């Protein structure tokens, strides 16, 4: 698990749903690199094809990833090179999909204090998010122990094979 | 205990508490033509040779089928070959398939008290049967193929107490749209919604499926109905014997909502969230012109839905400015509709009738919207670009409202026809 992440912030709003993250018209494939090209397409057209998103951080409002169960949504974000998603809250299925595939996600009530272009730093080990541009620091609630184990293994299937596989 | 706690406790073999994490073996694990290929690839990538419980695996190619393009055909081919190679019998080929959440209860594959996971968010539909059924991702399904287990967090529950009876042309869809507008699109996030009260017996199984189906639109993990005489009769028709199940008197809820069925009006949910519901009488005043009406989907593609649409469309014709597309949810629903003369009514009214598919609901095929177009639809989501072009719009409503709007050419109140 990557414990310290630093990147440029791209800001999105509330209720960003999986149809906006990866529209169904691109779901006739499950190839991560194909999906990455259309990441966030209906929230911000062309986002997935920008060359400055590698290593960046998506910051959003409430209920990020609501809607469909399509794992293609976190897969597209991860494959596009986004290093972390910070949101005020996450929809349940997106949350478990991100944990399962090892995409770092952070719940932060003060997510709306970030502005486009700020540099954010996420320290998962110490439970801290920093806005390096604004010089602010926020404490984050640690993951429940069970989810931490999945994250540490690098994802659900890695955990399965290690811990519970027969 | 709540219904959710009862089912999960039964599966865990001990009393469980909200907030606990559990590793359980689900009775059924479902995936479709969008989510199964990702699960199959992961299963193989992680060294999977033989699926742990092939008899619990269900594969339904329903989203982009009959295959809309070459890439979709390749996805379904992967599913079909996987089913053959793994001896998975519950793969439903075109001609026998239906929309997954119409098909599985109809075939008796999911039943009361079951623990069901599906790589489809509307898996919560089976909560109508009193099954703990919830949407998960493809990796969860791959994990189930590998080790037969899935992780769960025991949810807190929201209790929705129902009283009264529906007025004429007010339906389960109107109830759930109103409920989502009360809870908000994330009001039930991580939680189970549990229905109770004297109003429950006023709602048919088809109506309950519609309500549980849209629990996810309030963020709900599942939407549970008690197992009562209506459920028992439904299961018995499928040769399944189940016992009544109600929550305990002292069950704990994080929130309680009361709804009176007799106070409900037909609802219309405006773009771009399912929670934007208004009374149809208000919507009608705005004369919102529509280009398309879709009647079908896992939400409203059952026989009662088609009967209601036919009741409105009988002897009337669809506006020349509207394409009205009707999609029975399964082959059985289609055949029953034929037998009852509903398909004649639809065709005489100028509707297109399709083989079962999710198609237009998610902008896949069979009725994709062009730029600037507006649809009224009995489906479940009205997000940006959901049915096609990012600048198109979807209004959600019942089959009665959708059919009345198709006739009028604008969003219309079926009670005023």
Residue with tokens 């009967």: B307
Cβ of B182: how many Cβ atoms within 10 Å? 13
Helix (H) or strand (E) holding B135: strand B132-135
From the CA of B299, how many Å to the nearest CA of chain A? 14
Residue with tokens 């048919």: B204
pLDDT digits (tens, 9 = 90+) for B159-175: 999 999 999 999 999 99
Give contacts of B 4-43 with A, CB under 8 A.
Answer: 21, 23, 34-35, 37-38, 41-42
Is residue B361 a known part of a binding site?
Answer: yes
What is the predicted pLDDT for the residue at B361?
98
* CA atoms of B395 and B369, how far apart (whole Å): 13
Mutate: best of B24, B38, B273, partner A, most A CBs <10 A: B38
What is the predicted pLDDT for the residue at B383?
97
Are residues A138 and A144 in contact, defined by beta-carbon separation less than 8 angstroms? Answer: no
Three-class DSSP category at A136:
strand
The 3-state secondary structure of A86-124, one letter per residue: EECCECHHHHHHHHHHCCCEEECHHHHHCCCCCEEEEEC
Q: Minimal Cα distance from A41: which residue of B?
A: B390
Is residue B358 a known part of a binding site?
Answer: yes
What is the predicted pLDDT for the residue at A165?
54
The full set of domains in chain B, from first to last, is: 1-263 (3.30.499.10), 265-406 (3.30.499.10)
* CA atoms of A133 and B119, how far apart (whole Å): 40
User: How far is residue B20 from each of residues A102, B118, B190, measured CA to CA in Å?
Assistant: 21, 21, 12
What is the predicted pLDDT for the residue at A142?
85
> CB distance A69–B23 less than 8 Å?
no
pLDDT digits (tens, 9 = 90+) for B12-56: 999 999 999 999 999 999 999 999 999 999 999 999 999 999 999
Phi, psi of A79 (to 5 degrees): -70, -25
What is the predicted pLDDT for the residue at A164?
66
Are residues B404 and B395 in contact, defined by beta-carbon separation less than 8 angstroms? Answer: no
Question: Exposed/middle/buried for A145, CB within 10 Å: 0-12, 13-18, 19+?
Answer: exposed
What is the predicted pLDDT for the residue at A3?
76
Is residue B298 a known part of a binding site?
Answer: yes
pLDDT digits (tens, 9 = 90+) for B345-380: 999 999 999 999 999 999 999 999 999 999 999 999
Mutate: best of B51, B66, B151, B371, partner A, most A CBs <10 A: B151
> CB distance A70–B35 less than 8 Å?
yes
> CB distance A70–B64 less than 8 Å?
no
Question: Exposed/middle/buried for B8, CB within 10 Å: 0-12, 13-18, 19+?
Answer: buried
* CA atoms of B172 and B165, how far apart (whole Å): 11
Q: Which two tokens stand for residue B119?
A: 């790589």
What is the predicted pLDDT for the residue at A163?
73
What is the predicted pLDDT for the residue at A43?
96
The full set of domains in chain A, from first to last, is: 4-165 (3.20.19.10)
> CB distance A28–B219 less than 8 Å?
no
Q: In which residue ranges of chain B is pLDDT below 50?
A: none
Mean pLDDT, 10 residues at a time, over chain A (166 residues)?
88 97 95 97 97 97 97 98 97 97 96 98 93 97 91 94 69
What is the predicted pLDDT for the residue at B376?
98
My answer on whether omega of the bond before B272 falls inside 30° of 0, hence cis, is yes
């Amino acid at each position: 698990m990557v414990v310290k992440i630093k990147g440029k912030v791209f800001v999105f709003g509330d209720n960003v749903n999986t149809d906006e993250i990866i529209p169904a018209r691109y779901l006739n494939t499950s190839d991560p690199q194909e999906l990455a090209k259309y990441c966030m397409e209906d929230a911000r057209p062309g986002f997935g094809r920008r060359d400055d998103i590698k290593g960046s951080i998506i910051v959003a409002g409430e209920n990020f990833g609501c809607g469909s169960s399509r794992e293609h949504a976190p897969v597209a974000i991860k494959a596009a090179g986004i290093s972390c998603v910070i949101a005020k809250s996450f929809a349940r299925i997106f949350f478990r999909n991100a944990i399962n595939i090892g995409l770092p996600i952070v719940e932060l009530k003060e997510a709306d204090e970030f502005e486009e272009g700020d540099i954010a730093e996420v320290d998962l080990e110490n439970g801290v998010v920093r806005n390096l541009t604004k010089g602010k620091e926020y404490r984050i609630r640690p993951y429940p122990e069970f989810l931490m184990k999945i994250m540490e293994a690098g994802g659900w299937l890695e955990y399965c094979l290690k811990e519970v596989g027969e | 205990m709540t219904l959710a706690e009862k089912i999960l406790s039964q599966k865990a073999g001990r009393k469980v508490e909200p907030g606990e994490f559990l590793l359980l073996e689900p009775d059924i694990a479902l995936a479709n033509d969008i989510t199964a290929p990702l699960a199959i690839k992961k299963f193989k990538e992680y060294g999977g040779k033989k699926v742990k419980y092939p008899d619990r695996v269900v594969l339904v190619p329903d989203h982009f089928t009959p295959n809309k393009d070459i890439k979709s055909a390749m996805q379904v081919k992967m599913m079909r070959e996987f089913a053959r190679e793994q001896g998975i019998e519950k793969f439903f080929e075109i001609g026998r398939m239906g929309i997954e959440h119409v098909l599985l209860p109809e075939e008796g594959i999911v039943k009361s008290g079951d623990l069901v996971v599906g790589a489809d968010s509307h898996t919560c539909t089976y909560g109508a049967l009193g099954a703990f059924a919830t949407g998960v991702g493809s990796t969860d399904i791959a994990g189930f193929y590998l080790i037969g287990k899935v992780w769960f967090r025991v949810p807190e529950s929201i209790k929705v107490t129902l009283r009264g009876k529906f007025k004429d042309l007010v339906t389960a869809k109107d109830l759930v749209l109103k409920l989502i507008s009360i809870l908000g699109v994330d009001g039930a996030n991580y939680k189970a919604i549990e229905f109770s009260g004297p109003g429950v017996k006023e709602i048919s199984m088809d109506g309950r499926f519609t309500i549980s189906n849209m629990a996810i639109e309030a963020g709900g993990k599942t939407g549970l109905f008690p197992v009562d005489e209506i459920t028992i009769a439904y299961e018995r028709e499928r040769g399944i014997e189940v016992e009544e199940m109600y929550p305990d008197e002292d069950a704990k809820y994080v929130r309680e909502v009361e709804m009176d069925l007799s106070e409900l009006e037909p609802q219309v949910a405006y773009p771009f969230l399912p929670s934007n519901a208004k009374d149809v009488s208000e919507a009608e005043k705005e004369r919102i012109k529509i280009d398309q009406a879709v009647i079908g989907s896992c939400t409203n593609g059952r026989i009662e839905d088609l009967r209601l649409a036919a009741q409105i469309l009988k002897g009337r014709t669809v506006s020349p400015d509207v394409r009205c597309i009707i999609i029975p949810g399964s082959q059985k629903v289609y055949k029953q509709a034929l037998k009852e003369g509903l398909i004649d009514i639809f065709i005489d009214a100028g509707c297109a009738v399709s083989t079962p598919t999710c198609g237009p609901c998610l902008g896949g095929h069979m009725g994709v919207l062009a730029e600037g177009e507006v649809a009224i639809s009995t489906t479940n989501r009205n997000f940006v670009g959901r049915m096609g072009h990012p600048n198109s719009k979807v209004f959600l409503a019942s089959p009665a409202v959708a059919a009345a709007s198709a006739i009028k050419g604008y969003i219309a109140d079926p009670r005023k026809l």
